[in-house]
Amino acid sequence: MKRSVVLTWIVLASCSFVGFVGCEKKPVAPAAGSKSSAAVADKAGTVLVDKGPQLGPANDKPAESPAAKPAERAAPAPPAEPAKEEKKEAPAADAKKLQLPTEKIAAAAKPAAQEEVLLGIDDLTKGIPGEGALTIEQIKKWLDDPRNHVVLKPTLPQGLAVGAGQIAGLDKNPLTRAKIELGRQLYFDKRLSNDNTVSCASCHSPEFGYAKNTQFGEGTKGQKGGRNSPVAYNRILSSVQFWDGRAATLEEQAKGPIANPIEMSNTHDACVACLKGIDGYTLQFERVFPGEGLTIDNVAKAIASFERALVTGASPWDYYEVFKTFSDANKEDLADLAALKKDDPKLFEKYEALKKAAEAHPISDSAKRGGEIFFSDKGSCTACHVGANFTDEKYHNLGVGMEKPEPDLGRYAITKEEKEKGTFKTPTVRNVELTAPYMHDGSQKTLEEVVEWYDKGGHPNQWLDEKIKPLKLTAEQKADLVAFLKALTGPLPKVETGRLPQ
């Protein structure tokens, strides 16, 4: 009896709610930058070094796959098949046989098995071609193009490329252009929230480096949680999500905010019902997830795919580091450039190209010195900020917020392990310049403040990480560290923030 009353209430509530919100109505015009926005004007296309290592088989063993030592795991995987994707379906022997027109059409519609693609390029996130709100005709045309359903085999831009072995989640949720594009629409669509006011981008906005410039995320009706919005890029290198790692996959993470009462304040059922009222979405879900269609799990899969396409391109530090490593390794040969040009033109050419790229993305001497400290035993930043994405994906207590009478205990709330009290997941420091304020509670406003925090050895508490000790840096060294962190900013792809189905 009681149960049926509750059920009726839920049904009524969600129906009236759907009616009230008017899901079918035209998408709310995106607030700012409705065309395209790129956090950094540069182009990811400026990636210099070949294409980075090829991917090995993606691993999707979130919890147990220890991302512990990304640097070690960054060894180039075995070379993948070359991108000769134009393999025609009909084998050569049959080529002589005359094809019926219908067979020809079928063969043309069958996409190549896989396409290798460099992540971070605008091509994947620029939206369905056209202007203004998406029309059904445009969506149909897009879905009819077999190229948009080809499984993508991503490679990473310079800098991140050494982390190829860490790529997670693609075996269970392969990337395609159509799926990334569907995820893009959902990511920017406020209709995912119960009152059409909040989208993922409200707290992870391209304008603010895919984070938000407020201390805490602000959900519907201005509600605030107690944690700072982390970044939504480079997620492809990380399986476990949230400051406390409570979501095992990016897909699981994406479902969270929709039903979180203080974020998008919706229910999964109501969200799905709402999206089902929008023809442009049902059409896309049917084609992108054949036989499954529009479910909350597929909403999450699409959003996760979009996020996986958001990666940071090479930063000035990456260009400098590659050039420096190359120069150091070939010191003797490079001593006489004229001779090198004659004796080993290939090596000379490579030298010239790397030098040119480094000069086109200049880095200050201060940042170079800061890099020395970051990677040194003295700074010991790489004890935790390690590997391609500068994170060990582990949990540490820096003492942030621990002075409070009832501090946020972070990872402890998930594992109940005493030693994890007050620990939080190491965030990436790529593009960190763009994502103030800092730390899980957004309590530190500038990178200078963060560096001061490390210099004094964090905030003492009984669970403080043993690697956090007073650094006793000079004022110049602190400024150098900040300059280094700022040299880690690389371009993100241009992303269409409007263009939603009506």
Residues near ligand HEC (CB under 6 A) are 198, 200, 202-204, 217-219, 225, 227, 229-230, 232, 235, 241-244, 253-254, 257-258, 263-264, 303, 307, 374, 379-381, 383-385, 396, 398, 400, 424, 426-427, 429, 432, 435, 438-440, 447, 450-451, 454, 465, 467-468, 481, 485
Beta bridge partners, 224, equal 218
Determine contact, residues 33/498, Cβ cutoff 8 Å.
no
Cβ proximity to ligand HEC: between 138 and 435 the closer is 435
Shortest Cβ 89–ligand HEC spacing (Å): 37
Shortest Cβ 303–ligand HEC spacing (Å): 5
Cβ proximity to ligand HEC: between 327 and 380 the closer is 380
Burial 208-238 (b: 16+ CB within 10 A, else e): bbbbbeebbbbbbeeeeeebbbbbbbbbbbb
H helix intervals, 315-344:
316-329, 331-335, 337-343
3-state secondary structure of 36: strand
The DSSP secondary structure of 425-475, one letter per residue, reads EPPP-TTGGGS-SBSTT--B-SHHHHHHHHHTTS---TT--TT-------H
Shortest Cβ 385–ligand HEC spacing (Å): 5
Query: 12-20: which pairs have CB atoms within 8 A and are 24 or more residues apart?
Result: 14/267, 14/269, 14/270, 14/273, 17/194, 17/270, 18/270, 18/273, 18/274, 18/277
H helix intervals, 130-249:
136-144, 177-187, 200-203
Instruction: Check 181, 251, 252, 263 and give the catalytic one.
Output: 263
For 98, residues 6+ apart whose C-beta sits below 8 A from its C-beta are none
Shortest Cβ 448–ligand HEC spacing (Å): 10
Shortest Cβ 478–ligand HEC spacing (Å): 9
Shortest Cβ 484–ligand HEC spacing (Å): 8
Cβ proximity to ligand HEC: between 351 and 374 the closer is 374
Distances (CA, A) of 225 to 214, 218, 272, 312, 387: 11, 7, 25, 27, 30
Shortest Cβ 335–ligand HEC spacing (Å): 35
Cβ proximity to ligand HEC: between 155 and 265 the closer is 265
Tell me, yes or no, if 86 is annotated catalytic.
Answer: no
Distances (CA, A) of 166 to 55, 70, 173, 322: 9, 7, 15, 20
Quick one: CA torsion of 247, 248, 254, 258, rounded to 10 degrees?
A: -40
Find, among 467, 398, 466, the residue nearest to 438 by Cα: 398
Cβ proximity to ligand HEC: between 326 and 374 the closer is 374
Distances (CA, A) of 134 to 27, 139, 280, 287: 10, 7, 8, 17
Cβ proximity to ligand HEC: between 280 and 442 the closer is 442
Cβ proximity to ligand HEC: between 42 and 251 the closer is 251
Q: Which residues are catalytic?
A: 263
